[in-house]
Structure 1
Amino acid sequence: MPQIDYFFTTLSPYAYLAGQRLEEIATRHGAGITYKPMDIMSLFPRTGGTKPSERHPSRMDYRAQELPRQAKKAGMALNLRPAFWPTNAAPSSYAIIAAQKAGGGDVGALVHAILRATWAEEKDIADDEVIRAALSEAGFDPNLANSGLLVGAEQYAANLEEAVGLGVFGSPFYIVDGTEKFWGQDRLEDLDLFLSGKL
């Protein structure tokens, strides 16, 4: 069975625009997914990237055009300038890690609910109640927002180190069986073709 390691940040508009296409692809090919939220702001300087606040205006102007185009293409609502962005990604990331470990719900739905909260619903994903609501929506115990803090913090740090070691440099980033890499929600079609044996 193919295994997909999914590295992402809960701050990423591109991870949001991926929707649940990764989960659909994995189901189609019988692949497993391990969700690996990471600290993107710590990743950027270690892998040659630049934080959005430090990027050249021409790059930010392009981003302001590209995101709405991609949202329209995907048929998804998008607020280009969310009220609560950037925010602290750690609490939502810890909750995802704890939920994945606990089981019993839909991790893909949880990830999407958290991303949607920022990019379409004007909610602060650092807020405990927002995280608890997302956990409940995805079929998890909302108390994981509290109980998973220690294990979440340790795994969050480990995910960053693993990402750097594997050559991850952005979000979303998909790695199949530890070797084949796909960067960006616009490469999900290529991931699908690869799992089909066509790439």
Structure 2
Amino acid sequence: MNKEHKSGMHCHGGHGHRRRGPTSYGMHDSSLVFKALKLQHGDVFLDLGCGPGDYSIHAACDVGESGKVYAFDSNATMLEQVRIQAVENGLKNISTHLGDMNGPLLFEDKSVDTCLMSTSLHCMNLDECGSAIFREISRVLKDSGQVAILECKKEKTDFGPPLHMRISGEELKAVAEPLGFTESQYVDLGFNYLICFTKK
């Protein structure tokens, strides 16, 4: 991906040479993720647990100058990497937000078109935190919005999180569906998968 917009935005799909920190972006064909998300110009995209911002950068190119990207993470160093990548790519539609995804999200009700959580949920206890996280996502999502979760398959591999930390799509459905979400698609990404939910 190497889009160049008339506005001066230079979009490299998040593969900036300064990329640092944990990210799943290069573990699979991330164009498949964005093909599934179907972002439109003018959309508002929330990257929860954004890390160094590879998905945020890609999304910022897709939503265009009329759209917005909120890059949210609990690590200030990661957010600085997002800002560096945004400057390098000439992107002015990204804002960074420091916070804990287990707490209230400081975004307005029904203000987000797509919320992405990429390989961040396995770092917390889904049984304890999952319902609260999905409730907050439901609050900030537009009625037509979607939440997309990218995780490592629950299979033993020589890399990635240990098996006991991994979350299956069925486990995510068990948390999301009672809160008013319904599965809209599942994308096999090899070692990882993407599962998307919409509001019922």
| TM-score, length-scaled by structure 2 | 0.28
Higher relative contact order (CA 8 A, sep 6+): 1
| TM-score, length-scaled by structure 1 | 0.28
User: Which structure's residues are more often strand, by fraction?
Assistant: 2
